[in-house]
Amino acid sequence: MKEKQIKILLSAPRGFCAGVERAIEIVEKSLKKFGSPVYVRHEIVHNKYVVDDLRKKGAIFVEELDEIEDKSRPVIFSAHGVPKSVPAQADNYNLNYIDATCPLVSKVHREAENLNKAGFHIILIGHKNHPEVIGTMGQLPVGSIDLIQDKEEAQNYDLENGRKLAYVTQTTLSVDDTKDIIEILKKRYPDIKEPSKDDICYATTNRQMAVKNIAKKCDMFFVIGSRNSSNSVRLVEVAKNSGCEKAYLVHSESEVPYDDINKCSTIGISSGASAPDILVDDFINQLKQKFSVITEEIEIIKENVIFKVPNKLN
């Protein structure tokens, strides 16, 4: 008999954003149009379930273009964006490539290029080695863009006198942490040029706001997502910073901590922008095996953003 009753506060919006949906659709439409295999450079989005599912359908994932065995097959660039050297290499190989870069990441790329042309030295606020950061820095000549990851680096940043300075950011950062870094930069460089519109994407912002909204009411908080998903890891941090210290990432190898959940009356659940709904449903169903569960969805904003796939796939 399930004696223990648990209330689940389901954070909304959660899960897939428009950029992720578009990237997955690009792979599926490419498979339909060109047959299998199609190659994908890097994980199309950072989620093992999604990648495994596309692999079953005929996608082959590679990290670099020289790993592609059959150069006559199409290759898709992931949603995170790529440095300019990658399309150039694809042209050298005569590859048919389709770019699934999220339009909001492409916006940051164009912004950085325009600032560079206007003579600005650029700071990118982001996480080292994340594919989005590699892609954005790879839009510009070496030495014209610097990476700042945290408040300490912002405090110690040193720019040659007389240079015009601007900043852009990775799209999947913590809104609060980024604000703190920007404040330090503005204090130190009052003339620093900021983006006309926030670079952190609407989906990252909305998911963080939704988690903030319910975290303090929860004894534990679970974010369904992958360990290499920046926006999922940020959601765990947001839950902790917003009043729920016991916040955890639930990834493909996680075990459900039933004993800890048994001590709770209310838990919160959200999911990263690359995690499909089925993973949230599976997690809740696992809880239903052990507990009597009441679920309440708390939505703070409706999302209706849609990004079209490239015309050549229609």
Residues carrying an active site annotation: 132
Half-sphere exposure of 218 (CA within 13 A, CB side): 34
- Whole-angstrom distance, CA of residue 273 vs CA of residue 289: 27
Determine the distance from the C-alpha atom of residue 162 to the mean position of all C-alpha atoms in its chain, rounded to a whole number: 35
- Whole-angstrom distance, CA of residue 188 vs CA of residue 152: 13
- Whole-angstrom distance, CA of residue 274 vs CA of residue 179: 24
- Whole-angstrom distance, CA of residue 175 vs CA of residue 197: 14
- Whole-angstrom distance, CA of residue 272 vs CA of residue 36: 29
Measured from the Cβ of residue 158, the count of other Cβ atoms closer than 10 Å reads 6
Nearest to 247, CA basis, from 282, 277, 212: 212
